[in-house]
Structure 1
Amino acid sequence: MAQWQDLLRLDAALQARVSQLYEGRFPREIRHYLCVLIESLDWDLAAGDENAASTCFHALLEDLQEQWIRSVQENILLQGPDYTGMKDYLLKNFEDKPLNLAVILSECLKEEQKIKASASEAQACGSPDMDQKWKWKDMDNKINELKRLIMEVNKEIKSLEILNDNLDFIQKTWQNKVEQDIGLAQSHAVVEEECRKRTNFIIQTKQVVLQEIVNILNLAQPIVATLTEVELPEWRLRQQLACIGSLANTCLDHLQKWFTAVAEVLLRVREQLQKLKEQNNTPDSTDASILPGLMAIIENQTLSLFTQLLANALVVEKQPIMSSLPQRPLILKTGVRFSVRVRFLANLPEFKCLLKVKPVFDKDVEEIKTVKWFRHFDFNSDECKVLDVDSPNGDLVTEFGHMSLKEIKGRAKGSIESRLAVTEELHIIKFVTEFRHVGLELNIEASTLPVVVISATTQVSSAWASIMWNNMLSTGDSRNLQLFVDPPPLTWEQLSQVLSWQFLCTGMRELDENQLSVLRNKIVDDPDDLVHWSKFSKNENAWLWIDGILDLIRKHLVDLWRDGSIMGFISRERTAELLKEKRTGTFLLRFSESKTNGAISFSWVDNANGDRV
């Protein structure tokens, strides 16, 4: 189970490799729901021993039967997976051939380990440099100092409670004795003086505590600003690039640790301020209005920082993705299920099951009101979910796994108002929640990256071109849903990078400088090294040719591309030059320049002198 859970936490590109691994060989649904049992069995041994293979096969059947019985007993048969269908699949395909099952799972588990290893290598390559590590260490040190300071304040507040209790005891005890014995009245002045001294000491202690709280807030303010204005936007940019193939590290562990720690400190500050208020409002207190102005300022500053932090704590951890297009997130097809995962970074026990999240399509999008040709969509079912700690790592997350769209207003047939194709039309999904806790009420939102909604699988290629173009141009929080009304060009440096990522995701091998040079000569005709949208995906549509090659690799040539057997993009002239004076039979494989739907060209030496290619 640990291995499968690790795979589920990988980015979309690496999860796509896992999906490819099982495609046509073994249902991922069975791998998912039987992950604990599958990983506990020795499939390497079973692959070479028919008795062991049969034992493993029947263990899977028994586990499926047990899970089915449990779903019946708990009355969740319709909500759960199709255990009967999974069992029937195993019986139909492997009852007489358990060795085949063992071989498949043995190979798949080993390949999974390789994919995990490649993820670790990618994280190592994309691991923070020394400057980044210093920044993270500096952030850790500052937050540790915050924790130390709030612990000191907690001690001071407890001391104040004891001092107030002692003062209250002296005052009440002395008053009772005076009422019982009139002779004690002579000592009344002495007791009053003692009480006055104690009260003054309490006032001074409160002033010290308030100053300590001010120090905490002064330290917390730049930390909150850094988290919300620097660290979080940088993570969003990494996630944005990862969606289009980059191996950027999108792990949220550091951010969640920092958000949670600062949120806890600010929450404790609010609690301590409330305790100070209660002490001031004690009926017998001689100082019921200590520094009311400063108290109000401190409370407002605490609330402001807390609000700023929490308003940014909701993030879309996994962008919208259809299981049928695991390598191409942000493309959604009407009527087809997709999934999204959101996370709340301030992961405190007090917030468990507190937030109910609702998705809203195109919330606050002006184009719905102002652009006549802009299509309108909505979800096929209303779905709200509560953020709960239900992941192996205890993250405060929820996954919307059964979302789908319906079109509620399309373009008029024959409409010529729009210059945009439907694959150039961008939309967003927002996740909204209301935060209510200890007097604080706050509306929180998180938005997906812009998505493209299609109605036919033939539109996937064009839609992905739009996704790549938009994400290379609209970095950070900027969202221009009418980007393609007048699309800015990309530099060749930008485009070559994202094209190389596509080959890495599809066939686990990037494009080298020679291959990129061939592509550049074919695509770029601008003196400033710019590539225009019309050249890439409209009029001449170089992308259609490239995507055809990617599809060919994906379906048939992953191994040959990965191990370098295919030279790839290479001109005819360069081909002839490389094969010149080679032995008869020497050949190379390259991508065809004339076939738009993806093809391989074979070039070889066919005579002893090597003069003819």
Structure 2
Amino acid sequence: MTQWKQVQHLEIKFLEQVDHFYDDNFPMEIRQFLADWIENQDWDAASNSESMATVLFHNLLSQLEEQCSQEKMFLQRHNLKRIKQQIEVKYRANPLHMAGVISNCLREERRIIATSSMLEQGPLETSMQNSVVFERQRNLENRVAVIRSSVLIIEQGVKYLEDMQDEFDFRFKTLQSRDPAERNNDHVRQEVVRLQDMLNTLDYKRKETLGKMTDLIKEIESLMNTPLNEELMDWKRRQQITCIGGPLLTGLDQLQNWFTLTAQSLFQVRRQLDKLEELVMKVTYDGDPIPLEKPQLEERVKLLTYHLIKSSFVVERQPCMPTHLQRPLVIKTGVLFTTKLRLLVKLPEVNYQLKVKTTFDKYVKELKVKDTFFILGTATKLMDVEEFSNGCLSVEFRHLQLKERKYVNGSKGNEGPLFVTEELHSISFEAQFCIQGLTIDLETSSLPVVVISNVSQLPGGWASVIWYNLLTDDPKNLSFFTSPPPATWSQLSEVLSWQFSSFVGRGLNNEQLGMLGEKLLGQHISRNECQVHWSKFCKENIPGKPFSFWHWLDSILELIKKYLLPLWVDGYIMGFVSKETERVLLKEKEPGTFLLRFSESHLGGITFTWVDQSENGEVKFNSVEPYTKSRLTALPFADIIRDYKVIVDRNVPENPLKLLYPGIPKDDAFGKHYNSQPSTESQYIPSVFIPVSQFTNPSTASFSSLDLLPMSPGMFDELTQKLSPVEIETAMSSPYSE
């Protein structure tokens, strides 16, 4: 089943997540029509190769053109042409970005598919999806609806006041126009009494309307101070969690709807107050409540409008390099990065362009950092209505770069105590909003970013991003790493699982996390509340190893992404299992049963261990030297499993790998991932690379791997007969036990 068909079989709640990231990044119609073609392209590689991305960009346009020509339905053909034009305009100048977006979409699909099959959720993810959150949102929805209803009621009341006052004004002026000699007759006296009653009613209705306005303004203020602000803060917190691999971020459109309806209510109240001012200019009297109360109400409405619009200016998408979409907030100097801003208030009155200016490190002059940077590229852009979305005001910066500032006499500023990857920086955004005589200076900032100058610093920078966003929600705490707080294992283990689900499409189960916890914390009866310190996680080397825990784990992520992705997504790599546990699992299994685990002594290595029995019935465990990227580049790992051979002295080579733990036939597990064999119709004798190990001593419990040997399977036995054991041994590495 193709990946896209698997997506279509997901539950509604998962389909909504898929819908969200396609709406924001890439048209789902293209994914639907070109599903097979898209899945057969290497978008990961293209996202790091401009030439390859350019080729795929033009191929995509050709595929769409062909699809349009074959489409028989007029409306569908029209939509495809429109989408093709949009894609061409959006990505013509930057096909690398398109490749990164599609790569990310495919990875998010794999992640959601894997998540849907995993019933357990961690505490952070569960807290974002519990019934309390839904109940809070439903109450907010109801309160916004009540406010909108109250605004309409007050509007009707003001209209009633206007009609009543017009009648009073007409009667009063008519009475004034009568002959003074007639003012003492009964009819005139009755009219005076009627006018006095109307004036009393008018006064009562004015006080009633002002009272309703006062109550409404209090309700709007209460709404803004608690549930609406809580939802905004909750969305920003969820954005932090999404940035470090957590659940997909949704809810911004709903938040915009609440902000917009609240703003509309405030502007309507302001218009109603203006209307009351007009009524006063026509009719007023001693004790008139409007001149007394209106200025105070106007000031409160103005202040609420100011705060609402100011808080509605948000960073919709945090700074990110298109080549590393899964690792936002780490920016390399000289490399393009993108970010996107949105105004959550959508009003017809503000459908005009707002100029947004970008500033780097505006408020960190006082911090002692080693390096300072400035922005290159288009740092000022116009915020405009999004044509292909919900019509919100937004702006996307696509061509920003950071450059290190040069200092006179070689000085680089104050030297600080932190590593470069621990220094946090901020990108600020400013705009000026003007409406109905109200001028509001808008300002917001990104989450703290880490700036690197070499891609080798990326793992350390990403570790800093993880630690910061896991443990604080204060976006201005740029001195965080001067004294970073510890994380509990329950917090950290969930985030580590997210790294795998977001980066390589499948998270970690409890057993895998247990092995990682043991590696970090040792044997603890209750590990969840044990604290992990920043230095232990990222800065200190693992005892006896020349690398830290995080760099070891990050190297495994890279290994999976580049060489083991299909096998990992299918769940065939146990990966994180200690040697002791490995032996317990394999001990009672049939000879030839094997499992795959990551090396603990190599950065980015994977090995396999199988169980065997000696002639006297003794159980033996055999492991090969770990395969790292330098070796996996030459031969896919599934083919290594298929073709692996063992030579015992001068005997015929055989593959000892029969069953993948717990008992899956090897070909059933890996068959669909084998490379196709060379054609037998060729005039040449086909050859294959075969990974080989040799027993120089049958009692040895560990094996070493020979370099991959190009030869045909039929010739291999003949070759072993011609070469002496010494000659074979010369070509082999020394015995190794991982």
Give the shorter-chain TM-score range.
Answer: 0.7 to 0.9
> How far is 1:482 from its partner?
1.6
> How far is 1:197 from its partner?
3.1
Pick from 580, 590, 603: which aligns with 2:609? 603
SS at 2:318's partner residue?
A: strand
Could you say which residue in structure 2 is the equivalent of 1:357? Answer: 356
> How far is 1:517 from its partner?
1.9
Which consecutive residues of structure 2, in runs of 5 or more, have no partner in the other structure? 1-14, 32-37, 72-76, 97-101, 542-547, 622-738
| Alignment pair present for 1:576 and 2:583 | yes
Tell me, yes or no, if the aligned pair for 1:227 and 1:259 is still in contact at 8 Å: no
Could you say which residue in structure 1 is the equivalent of 2:366? Answer: 369
> How far is 1:281 from its partner?
2.3
Letter in 1 for 2:197: K
Inter-partner Cα distance in structure 1 for 2:166 and 2:262? 32
Letter in 2 for 1:589: L
Tell me, yes or no, if the aligned pair for 2:367 and 2:479 is still in contact at 8 Å: no
Inter-partner Cα distance in structure 1 for 2:104 and 2:320? 23
> How far is 1:322 from its partner?
0.9
Deviates more, 1:400-409 or 1:500-509: 400-409
> How far is 1:370 from its partner?
4.8
The CA deviation string for residues 508-539 of structure 1, in whole angstroms up to 9 with x for no partner, is: 21112222222122222698722222222223
Could you say which residue in structure 1 is the equivalent of 2:730? Answer: none
Inter-partner Cα distance in structure 1 for 2:65 and 2:550? 45
SS at 2:380's partner residue?
A: coil
Number of residue pairs matched by the alignment: 561
SS at 2:619's partner residue?
A: coil
| Alignment pair present for 1:336 and 2:335 | yes
Could you say which residue in structure 1 is the equivalent of 2:639? Answer: none
Inter-partner Cα distance in structure 2 for 1:33 and 1:340? 25
Could you say which residue in structure 1 is the equivalent of 2:444? Answer: 446
Tell me, yes or no, if the aligned pair for 2:379 and 2:400 is still in contact at 8 Å: no
Matching of residues 177-256 of structure 1 within 5 Å: 178=179, 184=182, 186=184, 191-256=191-256
| Alignment pair present for 1:545 and 2:552 | yes
Deviates more, 1:419-428 or 1:166-175: 166-175
SS at 1:547's partner residue?
A: helix
Cα 1:607–1:418, aligned 2, differ >3 Å: closer, same or farther?
A: same
Matching of residues 111-126 of structure 1 within 5 Å: none
SS at 1:426's partner residue?
A: coil
Inter-partner Cα distance in structure 2 for 1:554 and 1:424? 26
Letter in 2 for 1:142: R
Could you say which residue in structure 2 is the equivalent of 1:507? Answer: 504
> How far is 1:39 from its partner?
6.8
Cα 1:287–1:167, aligned 2, differ >3 Å: closer, same or farther?
A: farther
Cα 1:344–1:171, aligned 2, differ >3 Å: closer, same or farther?
A: same
SS at 2:356's partner residue?
A: strand
Cα 1:201–1:401, aligned 2, differ >3 Å: closer, same or farther?
A: same
Cα 1:354–1:294, aligned 2, differ >3 Å: closer, same or farther?
A: farther
Matching of residues 167-182 of structure 1 within 5 Å: 167-176=168-177, 178=179
Deviates more, 1:514-523 or 1:311-320: 514-523
> How far is 1:170 from its partner?
2.9
SS at 1:605's partner residue?
A: strand
Tell me, yes or no, if the aligned pair for 1:67 and 1:83 is still in contact at 8 Å: no
Structure 1 or 2: larger helix share? 1
Could you say which residue in structure 2 is the equivalent of 1:317? Answer: 316
SS at 1:479's partner residue?
A: coil
Tell me, yes or no, if the aligned pair for 1:171 and 1:195 is still in contact at 8 Å: yes
Tell me, yes or no, if the aligned pair for 2:355 and 2:380 is still in contact at 8 Å: no
Inter-partner Cα distance in structure 2 for 1:315 and 1:108? 23
Tell me, yes or no, if the aligned pair for 1:391 and 1:397 is still in contact at 8 Å: no
Could you say which residue in structure 1 is the equivalent of 2:723? Answer: none
> How far is 1:20 from its partner?
9.1
Letter in 2 for 1:346: V
Tell me, yes or no, if the aligned pair for 1:357 and 1:433 is still in contact at 8 Å: yes
The CA deviation string for residues 235-265 of structure 1, in whole angstroms up to 9 with x for no partner, is: 1111101100111543313212211111111
Letter in 2 for 1:423: T
Inter-partner Cα distance in structure 2 for 1:131 and 1:434? 37
SS at 2:405's partner residue?
A: strand
Cα 1:485–1:135, aligned 2, differ >3 Å: closer, same or farther?
A: closer
> How far is 1:406 from its partner?
2.0
Could you say which residue in structure 2 is the equivalent of 1:139? Answer: 140
Could you say which residue in structure 2 is the equivalent of 1:430? Answer: 428
Tell me, yes or no, if the aligned pair for 2:111 and 2:505 is still in contact at 8 Å: no
Q: TM-score, structure 2 length as denominator?
A: 0.67
Could you say which residue in structure 2 is the equivalent of 1:297? Answer: 296
Could you say which residue in structure 1 is the equivalent of 2:165? Answer: 164
Tell me, yes or no, if the aligned pair for 1:583 and 1:610 is still in contact at 8 Å: no
SS at 2:366's partner residue?
A: helix
Higher RCO structure, 1 or 2 (CA under 8 Å, sep 6+): 1
SS at 2:589's partner residue?
A: coil
Cα 1:296–1:21, aligned 2, differ >3 Å: closer, same or farther?
A: farther
Could you say which residue in structure 2 is the equivalent of 1:102? Answer: none
Inter-partner Cα distance in structure 1 for 2:423 and 2:290? 57
Pick from 448, 453, 470: which aligns with 1:455? 453
Tell me, yes or no, if the aligned pair for 1:280 and 1:287 is still in contact at 8 Å: no
> How far is 1:507 from its partner?
2.0
Letter in 1 for 2:344: L
Cα 1:600–1:117, aligned 2, differ >3 Å: closer, same or farther?
A: closer
Q: CA RMSD in A?
A: 4.2
SS at 1:403's partner residue?
A: strand
Percentage of matched positions with identical amino acids: 33
Deviates more, 1:538-547 or 1:478-487: 478-487
> How far is 1:555 from its partner?
0.5
Inter-partner Cα distance in structure 1 for 2:464 and 2:40? 24
Tell me, yes or no, if the aligned pair for 2:368 and 2:414 is still in contact at 8 Å: no
Matching of residues 46-195 of structure 1 within 5 Å: 82=92, 128-176=129-177, 178=179, 184=182, 186=184, 191-195=191-195
Q: TM-score, structure 1 length as denominator?
A: 0.80
Inter-partner Cα distance in structure 2 for 1:19 and 1:386? 37
